[in-house]
Amino acid sequence: MKGTYLGEFEELVLLTIGSLKDEAYGVSIKLDIEDRAGRVPSIGALHSALYRLEEKGFIKSREGGSTQVRGGRRKRFYTITAHGRQALTKSYNLRNELFKLVPGLKLNIK
């Protein structure tokens, strides 16, 4: 089972959800990724990732906030679960460790 495995795109989506706090839903996540990462994820791929993340228990969702442009349809807001935070931390640590092991790479913290 895939279980706790976190893919690269999924990690990006998960982090974005965290950064958007209470305003993370499909369109806002997509636009944020476009802004920050400079890549244009397709809406289908994004929702597919969200669906997987929720199945794995990294995020949970609630519905609400319908607007006129959505034709009165509700949004689905996502928030990171504790399990999700854990996975992010684990992934961060792993990267950090590996990063240090690569000679000649220096952290350039802004």
Partner 1 sequence: MSSPENKSLPPKWADRLLESFCSEEQLEILQGDIHELYAYRLTQMSRFKANLHYIKDVFDMLRPFAFKRKHTNYNYGPMFGNYFTIALRTFKRNRVPFLINLIGMSIALGCAITAFVNYQYNSDFDKQEKNAAKIYRIGFLQSTEKGMVPYGVTPIPVAELIRGTLRDGEEAIQYMAKDGQFRIGDEMFQKQVVYADPAFTRLFTFEKLSGSLSLDDKANVLISDELAITYFGTRDVVGKPLTQIIEGGRRELIVGGVFKKFPMNSSFRFDLLTSYDNYFPDPAQRSVIENNWSRWATTFLFLKDRTIADLLPKQLEQYITTQNEARPDLKINSFYVESFIGMSARAIKQRNQGHWMGGPMPPAAVIAPFVMAGMLLLVACFNFMNNAIVIAGTRIKEIGIRKVIGGRRKELIIQFLSETMIFCVISMIIALGLAEYFTAGWNSIWSGVEMSVTYSNNVFLIVSIVLLIIITGLLAGGYPAFYISAFKPISILRGTTRFAGAGMLTKSLLVLQFSISLAAVLFAISFYFNSKFQKEYDLGYAWRSVIQVGVRNEQQYEQLRNSLQTNPNIKAMAGTEHHIYSSSYKVAARFEHKVESEINVLNVSDEYFGAVDVRVIAGRNFRKDEASDINESIIVNEEFARKFGLGDDAIGKQIMFNDTIPMFITAVVKDVYLGALFEPLSPVAFRYAPAKDYKYLVVLTEPDQLLDVNDQIKTSWNKVFPDQLYPGRLMESRMMMALEHFDSVVILYSFLGAVTLIMSISGLYSLVALNLQKRTKELGIRKILGAPLRNLVYHSGKLFFVIMSISFVVGAVLGSVMVNALMDSVWEYYVAVNSKVVLIAIGILTLIAIVTVAFKIRSVVIGNPTDSLRHE
Nearer to partner 1 (CB atom), residue 52 or residue 60: 52
Smallest separation (angstroms) from partner 1 to the CB of 110:
30
**Cα gap 3→21, rounded to integer Å:** 25
According to DSSP H, which parts of the chain are helical? 8-20, 26-37, 43-56, 82-101
**Site residues, partner 1 (CB under 8 A):** 25-27, 30-31, 42-45, 47-48, 51-52, 63, 66-67, 69-71, 73-76
Smallest separation (angstroms) from partner 1 to the CB of 64:
11
Nearer to partner 1 (CB atom), residue 63 or residue 90: 63
Taking each helix axis from N to C end, the angle separating 26-37 and 8-20, rounded to the nearest 10 degrees, works out to 110
Nearer to partner 1 (CB atom), residue 42 or residue 108: 42
Take residue 20 and report the two structure tokens written for it: 């958007």
